[in-house]
């Protein structure tokens, strides 16, 4: 469900680095492993525990420089870093706002229920609402009327289409941190809880073709 987990897994697979993935980490264990932010993903490199998908991708490049996750040219690299950050800190909230809209909330709850410990599952709805469901309201996008949110999202997806008219990946001829971030968010957008996102993305052939290129690059 987490775009940031998908981003890390996809970048690790792209680099052909072996890894094991644990989907479920209990809340107590999560707080112990990552007291700083209490968020996923967390990556263990031997005894080093890293949090934050962007910091984990930097470490992946340090561990295994080839293929690189950022362009050599500084101007291109700057655009890729900025796009990665835009995806993590803005595009993500469009999807979150749609996931927790009145219409989509029941589907989102159904997808997330399994992450609530079994004895507390009866209270899954208030727990999940409090932990994550309120976040889009706090961030702001969750307060927009839905038509406005979807119209703005459509414009941002058009911006991505414009960028892809120039290059097969964002600002480059191979995937970078920008591509992995957007790949993660769009994967969550296709989970089934946000038909509005899925429809907006799927109706833009350039984006669909870009995701196919990403799938090919990740799976080799």
Binding mask 53-72 for ligand GSH (x = CB under 6 A): xx------------------
Q: Which of 26, 38, 65, 140 binds ligand GSH (CB under 6 A)?
A: 38
Q: Is 40 in the site for ligand GSH (CB under 6 A)?
A: yes
Q: Is 16 exposed, middle or buried (0-12, 13-18, 19+ CB in 10 A)?
A: exposed
Shorter beta-carbon distance to ligand GSH: residue 53 or 108: 53
If DSSP codes are grouped into helix, strand and coil, which group holds residue 49? strand
Shorter beta-carbon distance to ligand GSH: residue 112 or 160: 112
Write out the binding residues for ligand GSH, residues 119-148 only, by CB under 6 A.
Answer: 131-132
In angstroms, how far is CA 101 from the centroid of its own chain?
A: 19
Q: Is 16 in the site for ligand GSH (CB under 6 A)?
A: no
Write out the binding residues for ligand GSH, residues 69-98 only, by CB under 6 A.
Answer: 88
Which residues share a beta bridge with 48?
Answer: 45
The H or E element spanning position 51 is strand 48-51
Q: Is 39 in the site for ligand GSH (CB under 6 A)?
A: yes
Tokens matching residue 149? 């949110």
Tokens matching residue 191? 């989970």
Neighbours of 70 (CB within 10 A): 19
Q: Which of 4, 14, 170, 197 binds ligand GSH (CB under 6 A)?
A: 4
Shorter beta-carbon distance to ligand GSH: residue 95 or 217: 95
Q: What angle do CA 197, 155, 152 make, to 5 degrees?
A: 70
Shorter beta-carbon distance to ligand GSH: residue 12 or 53: 53
Q: What is the DSSP code (8-state) at residue 42?
A: E
The residue ranges that bind ligand GSH (CB under 6 A) are 2, 4, 38-41, 52-54, 88, 131-132
């Amino acid at each position: 469900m987490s775009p940031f987990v998908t981003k890390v897994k996809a970048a690790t697979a792209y680099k052909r680095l072996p890894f094991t993935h644990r989907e479920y980490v209990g809340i107590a264990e999560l707080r112990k492993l990552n007291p700083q932010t209490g968020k996923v993903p967390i990556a263990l490199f031997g005894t080093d525990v890293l949090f934050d998908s962007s910091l984990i991708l930097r470490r992946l490049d340090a561990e295994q420089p080839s293929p690189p996750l950022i362009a050599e040219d500084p101007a291109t690299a700057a655009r890729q870093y900025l796009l990665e950050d835009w995806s993590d800190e803005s595009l993500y909230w469009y999807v979150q706002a749609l996931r927790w809209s009145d219409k989509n909330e029941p589907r989102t709850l159904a997808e997330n229920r399994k992450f609530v410990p079994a004895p507390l599952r009866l209270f899954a709805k208030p727990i999940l609402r409090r932990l994550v469901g309120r976040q889009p309201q706090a961030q702001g996008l969750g307060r927009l009327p839905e038509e406005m949110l979807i119209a703005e999202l459509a414009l941002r997806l058009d911006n991505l289409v414009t960028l892809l008219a120039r290059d097969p990946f964002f600002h480059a001829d191979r995937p970078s941190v920008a591509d992995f971030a957007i790949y993660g968010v769009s994967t969550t957008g296709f989970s089934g809880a946000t038909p509005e996102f899925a429809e907006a993305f799927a109706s833009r052939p350039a984006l669909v073709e870009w995701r196919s290129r990403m799938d090919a690059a990740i799976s080799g």
